[in-house]
Structure 1
Amino acid sequence: MNIYQHFRPEERDYIDQVLNWKDYVETNYSPKLTDFLDPREQHILKMLIGEHGDVNYKLFGGTLDVERKRALIFPDYLPVTEEEFQISLFEIQYPAKFVTIEHRQVLGTLMSLGLKRGKFGDILTKDGKCQFFAAKEISDYIKSNVETIGRAGVKLIETDIENAIPTKELLVESDLTVSSLRLDTVISGIYHVSRQKSQLFIQQGLVKVNWTLTENPSFECGVGDMLSVRGYGRAKVLAIEGKTKKEKWRINVGKQK
């Protein structure tokens, strides 16, 4: 059976990587810790590793409700603790009375360090407080190289994971019937706009899928995909429940409240 036919063509390299991780664990009887994975990557890993083999996996991103998580792939007899995920939590200290720091500024600063996105987990903000998760192996490098974010001078303080800002995001679930799983069609259904308008959003660079700008209206949406349209908020494809008698797709989505 061709395993690639169940996934997108552009996901082939990642599929090969997951299969190599699994093979490594089977061959060496040793665990493998990944970088932070987005929800789509987590979904693919779950599909490929499975639930009942000799190789198992766990996902953890710092707290239970975060989106980006590291995966630990391990022989099924091995006990696993949260400490083995090697995650640091940083709090950003800055003069909040005089400046504000936004999510995109934090991400931009971190990405300017020359590190992969996979080395960073969720960025948490609430009431002027700002934190982010990172892979522990780069902790010292981050502390040595981040002194400003936006126009603000900052100091990074590594703190216990228990001090993380609560991240429970309220998603209002709804069931939709759409003519196809194309991105423009799904956006049209979720946000109650015409398909022409959703295509315009995509052409104007207002649409992201899994945090990546997407300009292909025929992109096929899948389970776990996080969609965002600037000015309209985020939504997640929670389930694809098959087709109706009229050959339309039934999907379940969660929309940011």
Structure 2
Amino acid sequence: MIENVYQHFRKEEAPFIDMATDWIKQCEDQYTPVLTPFLDPRQFYILETLVGKSNEIHLFSYGGYEAAERKRAFVCPAYFEPRQEDFEISLYEIHYPTKFATLSHGKILGTLLSSGLKRTYFGDIISDGESWQFFVDETMGNYVTSQVNKIGHISVRIEEKMYTGLLVPKDSWTIINDTVSSMRVDTLLSSVFNVSRQRAKQMIESGKVKVNWTQMDRSDFLLDLLDIVSVRGYGRLQIQEIEGKSKKDKWKLKLGVLYK
């Protein structure tokens, strides 16, 4: 375990670090595998860092399909190697009148969370441009189908699907290399989406920006490796690599961008 681990991460990440540390300790003390809820890329990175290069504990992850952003993880002893079904992830499709209505990621997520379940029970929400599917902790699948029959004003029916019925997601990350003066969220938004810093601050202050699926109201918030920033009306960006500083003391970054 890393000494003084808190200093390596943000202050607000301390509760998750405590939770991840408990998973690791439980695995060590009981010598049994521990299945986590769905984690975002930043959380998985923290967990991966805490597990480190231990020969005694292994880490596996799965989110329902190869390119999943949100994944469940197994913290487990060396003897255990999970199968796909061990991750307890179910796939559901949303049936709705496609000729007369449209759905969006934000509307679907808002409806799922209004059912009373936390974000940690849900994996990715994917679309091929018309149809929509989502991943959920299999223990909550029946609850979701019983609770959700409308998304906004649109009547919907939620149906469990076999993995052979998985959609091919339409969205794919565009990889760009960028150089920025600061890791502040407003600086990144200004550079990636070609808006002024003032406009970026306005978007943050008006509640249009989320970092790792949590609304962000601080324009001076410092982003870090694998953070995902969502901007309503513009798209998303992810910090995939931090390549260091340039000779002019600017950050060199590799970014994934999903343009709206």
TM-score (norm 1): 0.94
| 1:92-107 paired onto structure 2 within 5 Å | 92-107=94-109
1:113 maps to amino acid: S
The corresponding residue for 1:210 is: 212
- Stretch moving more, 81-90 or 177-186: 177-186
- For the 8 Å contact 2:128–2:169, the answer to whether it is kept is no
How far does the alpha carbon of each residue in 1:108-167 deviate from its partner, in whole angstroms, 9 at most, with x for none? 221111111110111122242121110011122122222222222222211112311123
After the TM superposition, which of the residue ranges 83-92 and 125-134 deviates more from structure 2?
A: 125-134
Partner of 1:198: 200
Moved more, 104-113 or 168-177: 168-177
Deviation at 1:168?
6.5
Counterpart pick for 1:148 among 147, 150, 153: 150
Aligned to 1:46: 48
In the alignment, is the contact (CA less than 8 A) between 1:65 and 1:167 conserved in 2?
Answer: no
CA gap 1:151/1:225 in 2 versus in 1, 3 angstroms: same
Matched, 1:25 2:27: yes
Residue equivalent to 2:7? 5
Unaligned 5+ segments in structure 2 are none
Equivalent residues of 1:91, 1:158 under 8 A apart: yes
Once the two structures are overlaid, the 10-residue window that deviates more, 183-192 or 117-126, is: 183-192
Match of 1:113 in 2: 115
For 1:165, which of 167, 178, 195 is the aligned residue?
Answer: 167
Taking a change above 3 Å as real, the CA distance of residues 200 and 152 of structure 1, as seen in their structure-2 partners, is closer
State the distance in 2 between where 1:54 and 1:162 align.
35
Match of 2:69 in 1: 67
Q: Could you tell me how far 1:107 is from its partner in structure 2?
A: 1.3
Alignment pair present for 1:228 and 2:235: no
Do the aligned partners of 1:66 and 1:167 also contact (CA within 8 Å) in 2? no
Aligned length: 257
Note if contact 1:178-1:250 (Cα within 8 Å) is conserved in structure 2.
yes
Corresponding letter in the other structure for 2:234: Y
Please provide the CA RMSD for this pair. 1.6
Distance 1:183 1:16, change over 3 A: same
- Structure 1 residue 73 displacement after superposition: 1.0
Deviation at 1:174, TM superposition (A): 2.0
Deviation at 1:230, TM superposition (A): 2.5
Greater shift in the superposed pair: 97-106 or 131-140: 97-106
- Whole-Å Cα distance in 2 between the matches of residues 178 and 127 of structure 1? 33
SS in 2 for 1:219: coil
Q: State how far apart, in whole Å, the 1-side matches of 2:146 and 2:188 are.
A: 44
Q: Which residue type is aligned with residue 77 of structure 2?
A: P
Checking the alignment, whether the CA contact within 8 Å between 1:240 and 1:249 is kept in structure 2 is yes
Shift of 1:67: 1.1
Distance in 1 (alpha carbons) for counterparts of 2:22 and 2:16: 10
Percent identity over paired residues: 42
CA shift digits 1:28-58 (9 cap, x unpaired): 1111111111111111111111244311111
Matched, 1:186 2:188: yes
The alpha carbon displacement at 1:91 in A equals 1.3
Asked if 1:175 corresponds to 2:181, the answer is no
Task: Answer whether contact 1:65 1:168 (CA < 8 A) is retained.
Answer: no
Question: Where does the alignment leave 5 or more consecutive residues of structure 1 unmatched?
Answer: none
What is the distance in 1 between the residues matched to 2:222 and 2:55? Answer: 30
